[in-house]
Structure 1
């Protein structure tokens, strides 16, 4: 930042806090000094702040920072998540034009306006005169305003007034609210010498909830600006910022006077936010709710107690030796072996119930946190005896330690949150909807809160025509899809798919059974198969040919999705920078289909004349080019958290982007050949050898499929 112009005045701004994330220490100190020299009321407690500055650009990150700082808040009904600061804004240098500047309308208006017109101009950051005898007051920089401004007997200059600068904020903007603003706002304000309009840099805003100590009296805000009435009569009230900080008594008197309604910056409340607000209301004060949804008194995590008998018996001395990944603090689950069964499975099962509740109640941060803790606990080879073991595990904190203590000391070995989840009527319905194939957690909440459905019959009776085709199939075969597949049936399905693939290409087609089957599960929810061929040209468009062949014989009854994304880009690895929306972990050619075994006793060669009694199954057929088949097998075999940590490890340790279609360098976007495809003499003989080379290329020890069960 450059030196501060003398006229920059932030003294009437509310309590301001600077986030430390992504801000170097030197720049953080420099930023705080600029705020202090500008008169801003700087605070080091985010719970006291009404203005939060930081290098962030996404509302989800802003909500996380508020939650991490124990700020009690709830979403605002008129907050539109699509109207946020551009992600590129934080990289703009001071003085450069900003991306999302709000255009200011001409301040010259007629001397008489109706109420609706005045309101419209107020929303456009303009101020119009109400009467001919009233002096027009403009929103000037803070240092140039005075509470003595008002009607005078002096002759009014008839020349048109200069165009006013944009208004940084309105006094009522921070009334019981907290705003998270990109730090570029301060840089531009310093560079230009005047406070800039904070709404051009606004990332997120929320309504503050009453503090625990006082549920009625609002917490005083440092140096809060007070509206000043200008002009004759009540109709002439215009909010003007005062450079004089009033005392507590004056502020209390001012609050008793009627004030103009706060300015509305977003005219339309999104349906998703309305649903989220309704969900938070439903789950407030529940033991399994996240911190932001507990209102008004969140439950605090009790302190963990140790008795003297524990020390006398030397419990800590009897603990087993910690595995290397614990002592070395390896945070990625792909760096350790996680078997399918753990000595702590009973405790882990209850954590999974809480994680599912967090998913259904739209707490994504909580879902990731619980997934990390569960993966660490599942990899621990000993039965946990004390909370000190929990705290030693990477990814486990005081919250998990407390839950273990509660589980360990309860008579029935049940966590209260897990009990509440099992008994909660709303969660039961949300889980029912979530288990419909084609319906995610967001859509399940929409079914419940927006459409007021309570069971499958409601969906069929009141909303069948509004469902997508995939959702209709999910409802139709709901109970059949919930049936598990034994290993023998998975193998039979794989044999049929491989036979048809070889029929449309040749005998060199390879078929790998991945997913839960390859991790050793006795039963699977669906079937995941990867097809590949040593010739690059053979896998282009292969999925379409295989599906057509299977449909002709009746094995596939419905094709839910048929994706040729990889074929359309020439079977190249996904580019580092892509415009593909929702690419996620996998961008390979694939077909998601409904399968039904055509062999049954009543068939007797009569084909489809007799109703097939076999249940419908879910089968995913994935096509991978041979050059990157190891990445595909590694990704589709591993459990969800293992997959996530493969991507995180590749990004944070190697500087690469890992995808089931291959690996690219993040700096140059160059494809990295981990599997030795470039030289025909070093090409892999089968997909399993290719998978091992991927682990080796990433610098990871190869983990057998049954050691990737992260839960």
Structure 2
């Protein structure tokens, strides 16, 4: 063998020895790997590296004194602990020689949050900055000395590897450090000092002890999280004597830090079994938050019985006496005398929606619709129980609402919960539903809109990117005058691409009488079927050319592709539809600029100063325009019950594109389109015929406000 071959063999041997060298993590306390900003594979790689090094890996953050996570800011590290139900207070907020890293918090000196893309994130785990939570006194004097000279004398540090020693440190302290510590330790083949990678140090506050450093944060810190330890919840609810006797019983010895099977969707079960209803608590007693509460039976006192005997219920409406369970069988006005209580129930319904409790959403929707239709201010639980779709749970909530000055503990708990706060914010992004919001929070580990921009922009759909880009603008309501102006412009362009026979109908919240709308819903129709074929694409192109539309998010020509025939019975899918029909439609972003000519004359480089709006343009053939107007005008629960009523009472299938017989799939002409003599004179008459054909009393648009 020549000298070059010998040299190569020596190098390969040394490299092989270096690769085989593994740091010994046995001296570390229980370690927890935070999933924030890490993919499943990246999280597992970090856990495997620690486990192979002999670390005591735990999957319960309450047991950990060392927590790894993809974070780099002290405030964010503290927030992550609180989101996981770990209450902490700062140990050392001021920069010092012992803790210089605390002065580097960008949140303490930087501007307010911004939603600017910060660049592509590197998927290589070794290049990530990930935080570790550990005791601030966990290093020995040798480690501190080594950390001070690491940058200037790396070779000396490698020759004398210090190992963190946590045996003498307080057990209630946690410290945040970067993932570089783990990666550098793996590269060096030894456990490096912790201090150079430090981000945050905190003291764990027991549940019975209030945090003292930050009074403003006491309410959040004092709240028990949905992810809190179940055994702690049980212990707090049982009598102390029982718990003391149970603790005295001998228990088998179990290693709490052995590696267990990973369950990817475990976080999605945070809200399973939560009732979101609460019992009335004694004055001065702290609320027991985020635990499952059963629906309580109503308890009546002697004075309540005397009140019942001395006063009768107000005269019940016909729909109450006849137990009409469908919202389409009664009038629901825009404003209700019980609006304050209904508002509280809507918040609980939203929480059910965000936790994917479909049954709970439907139940609360029905109860809210029934309460909204009731014409009197509710005085007693007897009235609640008399209403269709209102059971003892709603009556109990009303009793609490009465006794607690219009407040519900369940609503207070939900509004204070940090997870639901984030889910609500994500859910309000246009193009993001409840399921996707939960994926963002649990699977991706995102906690605010900046996280989505920084870590997930490329993974978003185009609709979601636009929804995030104009998040603040889309949250603004649209006044009625502006809705009318937008509709007039669209109608003008529709006439330009066809003729003056175009008829436009403003529907949605505007037609129900709302003073402000979240978006603009406009139906276009023409008595000549040939004029509505492919009309939506022609209108959108004309509006884009005139710069009224800045983004076309969805353009559906489903109805034109099937030659404007009603949707077949066996086609249960709604490809790209709005959720309840397959009419041709375009969902666009609109930006008004009435002073464009004057602004450009004054400044050729002027930009449009107006906000972006959401606009839905729907095209309906004339022969089913009544169904389209009825569907798109009515409130959500009214629409749902209209379909349920027609299915169960008539055996038909209804949506905004027409009515069909379920048995044969034949189209049912409720609007009299086939006969020229009986054909509807206008779309208003067509809508009335739809109600009459279904055997329902026609309800004016402002009486379909079920929400």
Please report the TM-score for the alignment, with normalisation by the length of structure 1: 0.59
Q: 1:296 to 1:599 in 2, by over 3 A?
A: closer
Match of 1:89 in 2: none
Q: After TM superposition, list the pairs within 5 Å mapping 1:381-392 onto structure 2.
A: 381-392=375-386
1:215-294 pair list within 5 angstroms: 274=265, 277-281=266-270, 287=276
Cα separation, 1, equivalents of 2:638 and 2:274: 33
Contact 1:288/1:420 (<8 A) preserved: no
Structure 2 partner of 1:653? 649
What is the deviation of 1:406? 0.7
Decide whether aligned partners of structure 1 residues 313 and 578 sit closer, same or farther in structure 2, where only a CA change above 3 A counts. Answer: closer
Structure 2 residue aligned with 1:556: 549
What is the CA distance between 1:603 and its match in structure 2? 2.1
Secondary structure at the aligned position of 2:328 is classed as helix
1:354 equivalent in alignment to 2:348: yes
Give the structure 1 partner of residue 170 of structure 2.
Answer: none
Residue 594 of structure 1 pairs with residue 594 of structure 2: no
Cα distance, 1:549 vs. partner? Answer: 0.4
Task: Give matches, 1:4-23, under 5 Å.
Answer: none
Aligned position for 1:344: 338
In 1, Cα distance between equivalents of 2:300 and 2:442: 45
Q: Quote how far apart the aligned CAs of 1:578 are.
A: 1.0
Work out whether 1:547 is the aligned partner of 2:540: yes
Structure-2 separation of matches of 1:519 and 1:510: 19
Q: Go from structure 1 to structure 2 and tell me whether the alpha carbon gap of 1:455 and 1:587 turns closer, same or farther (over 3 Å shift).
A: same
Give, in angstroms, the shift of residue 685 of structure 1: 1.8
2:270 counterpart SS class = helix
Which segment is superposed worse, 681-690 or 393-402?
681-690
- Cα 1:382/1:282, change in 2 over 3 Å: closer
C-alpha deviation, 1:288, in angstroms: 5.1
Is 1:298 the counterpart of 2:280? The answer is no
SS in 2 for 1:517: helix
Structure 1 outlier segments of 4+, above 3 Å: 212-215, 282-289, 294-298, 313-317, 579-584, 604-609
Number of residue equivalences: 442
Per the alignment, residue 308 of structure 1 pairs with 302
Match of 1:575 in 2: 568
Aligned pair partner of 1:683 in 666, 669, 679: 679
- Indicate which of 610, 617, 628 corresponds to 1:614: 610
The aligned counterpart of 1:47 is none
Partner of 1:527: 520
Q: In 1, are the aligned partners of 2:550 and 2:589 still within 8 Å (CA)?
A: yes
1:136-147 alignment, distance < 5 Å:
none
Q: Deviations over 1:473-500 (max 9, x none)?
A: 0000000000000000000000000000
Equivalent residues in 2 for 1:410-489, closer than 5 Å: 410=404, 412-489=405-482
- What is the deviation of 1:413? 1.4
Whole-angstrom distance in 2 between the partners of 1:296 and 1:537: 58
What RMSD over aligned residues (CA atoms) do the two structures have, in Å?
2.6
Cα drift, residue 636 of structure 1: 0.1
Equivalences for 1:91-106 in 2 at 5 Å? Answer: none
- Find the residue that maps to 1:445 and give its secondary structure: helix
Aligned counterparts of 1:575 and 1:316: Cα–Cα separation in 2: 58
* Greater helix content: 2
1:437 to 1:565, Cα distance in 2 relative to 1, 3 A: same
The reply on whether 1:396 has 2:390 as its aligned counterpart is yes
Equivalent pair of 1:555/1:595 in contact (CA under 8 Å): yes
Residue 314 of structure 1: CA displacement? Answer: 3.9
Aligned equivalent of 1:158: none
| CA–CA distance in structure 1, aligned partners of residues 593 and 372 of structure 2 | 40
Q: What SS class does the counterpart of residue 691 from structure 1 fall into?
A: helix
> 1:628: which partner in 2?
624
Equivalent in the alignment of 2:492: 499
| Cα distance in 1 between the residues matched to 2:520 and 2:291 | 46
- Secondary structure of residue in 1 paired with 2:599: coil
* Alpha-carbon offset, residue 355 of structure 1: 0.2
TM-score by structure 2 length?
0.60
Look up the SS of the partner of 2:378 in the other structure: coil
Matches of 1:505 and 1:468, distance apart in 2: 33
Question: CA separation in 1, counterparts of 2:477 and 2:668?
Answer: 39
Residue 407 (str. 1) matches residue 401 (str. 2) = yes
Structure 2: any 5+ residue segments left out of the alignment?
1-229, 237-251, 253-260, 279-287
Q: CA distance change for structure 1 residues 399 and 536 in 2, over 3 Å: closer, same or farther?
A: same
Task: Report how far residue 287 of structure 1 moved.
Answer: 3.6
The CA deviation string for residues 298-348 of structure 1, in whole angstroms up to 9 with x for no partner, is 322222122222332346733211100000010000000000111100000
Question: 1: distance between equivalents of 2:317 and 2:273?
Answer: 40
Specify whether residues 416 and 512 from structure 1 end up closer, same or farther in structure 2 by C-alpha distance, changes over 3 A only: same
The 2-side partners of 1:579 and 1:645 are apart by: 18
In structure 1, stretches of 5+ residues that fail to align are: 1-208, 216-255, 257-266
